[in-house]
């Protein structure tokens, strides 16, 4: 009897739009899209960062010669320089990195650390719009040492830059803001938070309400939030062996973290009402460097990590829909006999409902080469062509079409900002090897919209009334 009522309730939910779990036709299944691309020339290239923005992919990195920024469309290569290099870096690109971020108005922002003058290291900024770079602006004063530059664009368009530098009395993280697209910057201020939270290079993200979130890890993972007036810090993990934390903030305003645990692999954590939920990805080898995570505009969580196997590194990737488990890890880049390090990840959602993940890292086949690999996940979001969230199911005969980068793949929204739980039950996810560039012809929408605010309450009332009548009727008819 109760089952019949429940079935009737779910039928009403399907018709009237009450959220009732996933409407996805099949679990998310990422696949490789194209092959590994080499970016720029081999040399002393370090700390690549990537952003997917406005239908294009932008990659920035530091080399011994310059701060470099290149671009290409999401569907076609190769990468090409975005005008002249925005600036110089100095002789030690190991510490002097370039970061890129996209603004709501389509402008690309780049910050980098210029260490070309001894004892006068500075954080600098330029913006790229309408086919040209803006003049170079000073973000910071001169220091003896600067490291770990990060920049994020708040929904209002305000720029928020963070970097590591000596900070009197309270730690080593400094921030500055710009309300005029980087033309001028506020006086740098120390980030006041628990001293333990300072260890490790920070990761920064922003929420829809404008709050800025930071993650740091130097044994434990810490979460720091700036609400426009002050910072609050919370410990995410209690361990002493958690490092290289990254962070992304989802559409619901909750932060998701990726980090590595020494000798234990890649981990992820998600903010919830009671604190933080922490889980591990499958152990696929010793993890090195950051574990980038990105939450896309549909709430899907994407993660990637570098694992060492038989002395060589491999790039692994996994994705999960809201409320689901992570996909089986995909071997995005197999070992090539060289060394890999400093992985970064950016995401966008296409009008066809696919999620486009862009992975960049340092490859060392000889000298250091910046490299790129794209992974696409079909049915990650409701395609822009669907009405009311009702999307066609995949063809029953399993027909697939090649992801050839046609006009149907135009980007609908960009949520990719560069920065792990392989499954909610780790034992259920075995590793997979992606090989083809194919996507289903159609898919189910991840969730159905609510038709009206009163619909859920009405359906619950109807279901409850029906159940009470059946129960009372059964009792009345008892002998």
pLDDT 10s digit of each residue in the chain, 479 long?
Answer: 444 444 443 444 334 443 333 445 467 999 999 999 999 888 889 999 999 999 999 999 999 879 999 999 998 879 999 999 999 988 877 677 899 999 999 999 999 999 888 778 899 999 999 999 999 999 998 888 888 899 999 999 999 999 988 777 666 788 999 999 999 999 999 887 665 555 567 899 999 999 999 998 888 999 999 988 888 889 999 988 999 999 999 999 999 999 999 999 999 999 999 899 999 999 888 999 999 999 999 999 999 999 998 788 999 999 999 999 999 999 999 998 889 999 999 999 998 899 999 999 999 877 889 999 999 999 898 876 675 545 544 333 332 222 222 222 223 333 333 443 332 223 333 454 444 444 334 455 544 333 333 334 434 444 444 444 443 444 333 33
Alpha carbons 256 and 244: distance in angstroms, whole number: 14
Residues 6+ apart with CB under 8 A from 79: 37, 39, 40, 57, 59, 70, 71, 72, 372
Cβ atoms 178, 158 nearer than 8 A? yes
Q: What is the pTM of this model?
A: 0.80
Helix (H, G, I), strand (E, B) or coil at 442: coil
* Helix (H), strand (E) at residue 476: helix 455-477
Cβ atoms 147, 216 nearer than 8 A? no
Backbone angles phi, psi at 181, to 5 degrees: 60, 30
Cβ atoms 25, 393 nearer than 8 A? yes
Backbone angles phi, psi at 82, to 5 degrees: -90, 75
Helix (H, G, I), strand (E, B) or coil at 479: coil
Q: How far out from the chain centre does Cα 416 lie?
A: 6
Backbone angles phi, psi at 262, to 5 degrees: -55, 125
Helices (H) and strands (E) in the chain, counts: 2, 33
Pure H helices in 188-263? none
The first and second tokens of residue 440, run together, are 């289903």
Alpha carbons 179 and 186: distance in angstroms, whole number: 9
Alpha carbons 391 and 400: distance in angstroms, whole number: 16
3-state secondary structure 41-108: EEECCEEEEEEEECCEEEEEEECCCCEEEEEEECCCCCCEECCCCCECCCCCCCCCCEEEEECCCCCE
Alpha carbons 173 and 130: distance in angstroms, whole number: 33
Instruction: Please report, in angstroms and rounded to a whole number, the separation of the first and last CA atoms in the chain.
Output: 19
The first and second tokens of residue 249, run together, are 């903030």
Cβ atoms 35, 83 nearer than 8 A? no
- Write down how long the chain is: 479
If phi over 0 gives left and psi between -120 and 50 gives alpha, with beta otherwise, what is residue 119?
Answer: left
Helix (H, G, I), strand (E, B) or coil at 4: helix
Please choose, from the candidates 368, 356, 377, 366, the residue with its C-alpha nearest in 3D space to the C-alpha of residue 446: 377
So what's the pLDDT on residue 193? 65
Helix (H, G, I), strand (E, B) or coil at 455: helix
Residue 44 CB coordination number (10 Å)? 15
Alpha carbons 217 and 369: distance in angstroms, whole number: 27
């Amino acid at each position: 009897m109760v089952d019949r009522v429940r079935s009737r309730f779910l039928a009403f939910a399907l018709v009237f739009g009450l959220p009732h779990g996933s409407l996805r036709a099949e679990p998310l299944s990422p696949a490789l899209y194209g092959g590994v691309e080499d970016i720029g020339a081999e040399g002393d290239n370090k700390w690549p960062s990537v952003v997917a923005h406005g239908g294009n992919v932008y990659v920035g990195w530091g080399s011994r010669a310059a701060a470099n920024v290149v671009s290409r469309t999401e569907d076609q290569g190769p990468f090409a320089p975005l005008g002249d290099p925005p600036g110089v870096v100095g002789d030690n690109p190991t510490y002097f990195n370039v970061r890129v971020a996209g603004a709501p108005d389509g402008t690309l922002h780049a910050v980098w650390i210029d260490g070309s003058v001894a004892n006068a290291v500075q954080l600098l900024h330029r913006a790229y719009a309408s086919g040209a770079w803006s003049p170079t602006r000073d973000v910071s004063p001169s220091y003896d040492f600067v490291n770990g530059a990060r920049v994020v664009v708040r929904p209002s368009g305000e720029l928020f830059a963070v970097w590591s530098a000596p900070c009197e009395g309270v730690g080593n993280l400094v921030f500055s803001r710009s309300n005029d697209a980087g033309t001028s910057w506020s006086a740098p201020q120390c980030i006041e938070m628990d001293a333990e939270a300072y260890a490790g290079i920070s990761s920064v993200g922003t929420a829809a309400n404008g709050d800025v979130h930071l993650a740091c890890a130097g044994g434990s993972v810490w979460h720091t939030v700036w609400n426009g007036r002050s910072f609050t810090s919370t410990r995410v993990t209690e361990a002493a062996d958690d490092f290289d934390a990254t962070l992304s903030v989802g559409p619901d305003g909750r932060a998701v973290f990726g980090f590595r645990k020494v000798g234990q692999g890649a981990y992820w954590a998600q903010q919830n009402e009671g604190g933080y939920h922490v889980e591990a990805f499958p152990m696929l080898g010793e993890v090195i460097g950051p574990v980038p995570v990105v939450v896309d505009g549909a709430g899907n969580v994407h993660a990637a990590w570098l694992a060492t196997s038989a002395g060589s590194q491999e790039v692994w990737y996994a994705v999960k829909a809201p409320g689901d488990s992570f996909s089986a890890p995909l071997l995005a880049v197999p070992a090539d006999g060289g060394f890999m390090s400093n992985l970064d990840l950016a995401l966008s959602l296409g009008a066809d409902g696919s999620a486009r993940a862009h992975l960049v890292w340092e490859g060392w086949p000889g000298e250091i080469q910046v490299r790129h690999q794209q992974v696409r996940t079909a049915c990650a979001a409701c395609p822009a062509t669907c009405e009311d969230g009702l999307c066609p199911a995949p063809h029953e005969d399993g027909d697939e079409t090649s992801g050839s980068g046609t006009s149907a793949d135009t980007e609908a929204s960009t949520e990719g900002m560069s920065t792990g739980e392989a499954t909610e039950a780790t034992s259920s996810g075995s590793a997979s090897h992606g090989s083809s560039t194919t996507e289903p012809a159609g898919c189910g929408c991840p969730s159905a919209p609510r038709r009206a605010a009163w619909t859920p309450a009405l359906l619950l009332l109807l279901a409850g009334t029906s159940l009470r009548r059946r129960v009372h009727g059964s009792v009345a008819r008892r002998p």
